[in-house]
Structure 1
Amino acid sequence: MTELVPEAGFGKNRKLKSALLQHRPLSRQGFSERLFGLLFSGLVYPQIWEDPEVDMQAMELKPGHRIVTIGSGGCNMLAYLSRSPASIDVVDLNPHHIALNRMKLTAFRTLPGHLTVTRFLAEEQQADNSALFDQHIAPHLDAGTRAYWNGRSLTGRRRISVFTRNFYRTGLLGRFIAVSHLLARLHGVDLTGLAEAKSLREQRQFFDERIAPLFEKPLIRWLTNRKSSLFGLGIPPQQYDELASVSASGTIAPVLKERLEKLACHFPMRENYFAWQAFARRYPRAHEGALPDYLKPDYYHAIRDNAERVSVHHASFTELLAGKDAASIDRFVLLDAQDWMTDRQLNDLWTEISRTAAPGARVIFRTAAEKSVIEGRLSPAIDAQWTYLAEPSAALHLQDRSAIYGGFHIYEKRA
């Protein structure tokens, strides 16, 4: 298992720099890319923001499948284990995400029972979680991951201590949500009120009367017109441009309003833990709604028993696949990573995907804009090997509870 160097910043993370930087340092685009890289070099996603139920339906995930996926917060990788795949290779360019994925896997293998796992990974204000880590998890971690969680943050606390408070208020995304709540309060709106809604009708009323008018406020319009204001969502400059391209005004505020409306109004709060994170800044309690799929009791034993089938790699998707045998992978999960890529990077990636894809393999990914980002950009030889499943892609996009993406896409390897 590769040892981590978690303190290495953006300047030393060659893998992340290679993926992100496309323009000269002194250009406006180059400055934005480097600013985003500095922010992205820390923990970004305490929770993954792609719906695992949609993923598993799209993949038609079955026992024995071999999966390669981007890690992010690690939630979906764990959910996939409930279907007993033969193997999962997790890749990520961010060493903080690598440490989180490895720690979550070890927590499932070593903590004593489902209730303890749920308390550790989902509940806030659990003072005993540091002791649970020391007693059960830490002895089974690789040296690099153990050093990461025992290491000190800028506050002087051990990193693992975030699980004694509210882990989901940390990271770049957690801080972005906190600032969003602060901005709303400055305009007289308490976003946590949405969590008190008892029906879709009440959710709609709260959005229309309290949230939607915020997008007309001068300060919020000014902020959303700046690329750097959305770096906290993990949206790089290239993805901002994709989002702006789908708006008639060429600005991002209408797009954000539309996505937030779907998150707030299209799914009952009891069924949408993504909305709880956005509006309540925590997961629902047992009487309030459902937890993420990987924390549901019905999945616990399968995830625990299959956790050894996962390998976590500090590598790019293309880099990992280059070391795989031909026709050895059944399912590929790219999240929204392709929105960042140049044509050359896309073709390098899909060359390896096409080589390693087993007959009938599927690739799933999301995009900031509605259109598939690879259409018209792959070489004819690569493109000819894949079929776009347009109807199920569109249908599953409507079911995606995270609601923040413009499109969901499924490609299948031709026989």
Structure 2
Amino acid sequence: MAHGQAATMKAVGAAAIQHKGLSRQGLLERAFAFAFRGLVYAQIWEDPDVDMEALAIQPDSRMVAIASGGCNVLSYLTAGPAHITAVDLNTAHVALNRLKLAAARHLPDYAAFRRFFAEADTPENIRAYRDHVRPLLDEVSRRYWEGRDLIGRRRIRGFASGIYKRGLLGGFIGLAHGLARLYRVDPRELLSARTVEEQRAIFDRRLAPVFDKKFVRWLTDQPASLFGLGIPPAQYEALAGDEPAGMAAVLRARLEKLACDFDIRDNYFAWQAFGRGYGKEPAAPLPPYLQAANHALVVSRVDRVTVRHANFTDHLAEQPDASLDRYVLLDAQDWMTDAQLTALWREITRTARPGARVLFRTAAAPTLLPGRVPDDILGRWDYAEAQSRDLTRRDRSSIYGGVHLYVLRG
């Protein structure tokens, strides 16, 4: 096993494994850590427009965010923070973030940048990588992208054949499409809808009945079946607890929101789920960092991003008191024990400036912090409950039960 993969497995295992090895839950947690060793998210699944509204980023904002696929870190640059540190335990995600930053710096124009990351399916991207990006990419990331995956493909070739069909999530979406086709349903049908009403009709008539199939109900009741969504066993239990009818009902409700609550012409998450990539038309919806109007801003600000292969809490422990004011945790807390949550929030509180903001997602609807983080820490923060409900409603990715915002008092 490559050193990077070994480091990722060790770090993810420390975060995700909470039970003894021979217990059922312990075996599931170790299987998840193994599955998580490579690329998981070629695209991040948290809505950056919702994030930027919640975070209220200012010119002096110093941010720390879990990197994941890098889409949101680069998109935050459009709001003009002073600095962003992107941290991740997964070496593939670190390499992807560094590739995106290098490409923004060195590709010749917006057309090349869009072709590389929005289309991501042409041999011209490999030539652009060799000519413009490779010479100036850091050595560790270069070794990753020029190395081979488990079936022998050079990883950089993903940008010639559809990077969004790769990775753990890309494979899961592909399998979901295959399963739908077994029932003579093509999820791409939804992309032909011309109105939200047509989206609803297609979902109700074609997609919703798939979740009533006996095999689908059985399959989704197996925690390992959702590893491809990046859902560890602890998070699976939180999701399943939301719905007495089982995980199929949870997934149906989340997919219904994705398919029906937002105009497909404005929701690139729906294009990824139902089309396995971004749309090809010039007006197709894209993340902020890939939009033509934002390209010059992103390019001019890429040097404000630092990418680190690190644990979030450990990184904060190295920072001075009152030195940061925006924190983006994604859904990482769903993995954590009470002790890990307490350690994290102790470091967040120590490093936070007055008015600092923390944003995170949860699989289930409620915030998970009360009763798990001591009152002497959590009591220094105000939970923006009404705003959090509104953010959850408007998050176009639609896969989370809750979006949560905390603001430091003082």
TM-score norm. by structure 1 comes to 0.97
**Distance of 2:365 and 2:36 partners within structure 1:** 24
Task: State the 1:288 CA deviation.
Answer: 5.6
**Distance of 1:253 and 1:288 partners within structure 2:** 34
Task: State the 1:128 CA deviation.
Answer: 1.1
- Residue among 399, 407, 410 paired with 1:404: 399
Secondary structure at the residue paired with 2:79? coil
The one-letter code of the counterpart of 1:159 is R
**Distance of 1:22 and 1:168 partners within structure 2:** 31
Of the structure 1 ranges 288-297 and 217-226, higher mean CA displacement relative to structure 2 is found in 288-297
Q: What's the Cα RMSD here?
A: 1.3
Task: State the 1:229 CA deviation.
Answer: 0.5
**Distance of 1:283 and 1:107 partners within structure 2:** 19
Report the counterpart of residue 254 of structure 2 in structure 1: 259
- Residue among 38, 45, 65 paired with 1:42: 38
Report the counterpart of residue 81 of structure 1 in structure 2: 77
Equivalence map 1:13-412=2 (5 Å):
13-249=9-245, 251-287=246-282, 289-412=284-407
Task: State the 1:287 CA deviation.
Answer: 4.7
Residues 9, 33 of structure 2: 8 Å contact kept: no
**CA deviation map 1:265-296 (0-9, x unaligned):** 00111100000000011101225621111101
Task: State the 1:13 CA deviation.
Answer: 3.3
22 and 264 in structure 1: CA distance in 2 versus 1, 3 angstrom threshold = same
**CA deviation map 1:103-151 (0-9, x unaligned):** 0011001001111100011114311111111111111111111111111
Residues 221, 253 of structure 1: 8 Å contact kept: yes
**Distance of 1:341 and 1:157 partners within structure 2:** 34
**CA deviation map 1:210-260 (0-9, x unaligned):** 1110111011000011100101100000000000111133x2111111100
Task: State the 1:7 CA deviation.
Answer: 4.9
Q: Structure 1: state its 5+ residue gaps.
A: none
350 and 323 in structure 1: CA distance in 2 versus 1, 3 angstrom threshold = same
Secondary structure at the residue paired with 1:365? strand
TM-score norm. by structure 2 comes to 0.98
Secondary structure at the residue paired with 1:82? helix
**Distance of 1:210 and 1:297 partners within structure 2:** 35
The one-letter code of the counterpart of 1:382 is I
**Distance of 1:410 and 1:57 partners within structure 2:** 11
- The number of equivalent residue pairs is 410
Secondary structure at the residue paired with 1:286? coil
Secondary structure at the residue paired with 1:362? strand
**Distance of 2:244 and 2:19 partners within structure 1:** 27
- Identity within the alignment, %: 50
Structure 1 runs, 4 residues or longer, greater than 6 Å off: none
**Distance of 1:306 and 1:288 partners within structure 2:** 25
**CA deviation map 1:304-357 (0-9, x unaligned):** 111011111111110100000111111000000000000000000000000000
Task: State the 1:9 CA deviation.
Answer: 3.6
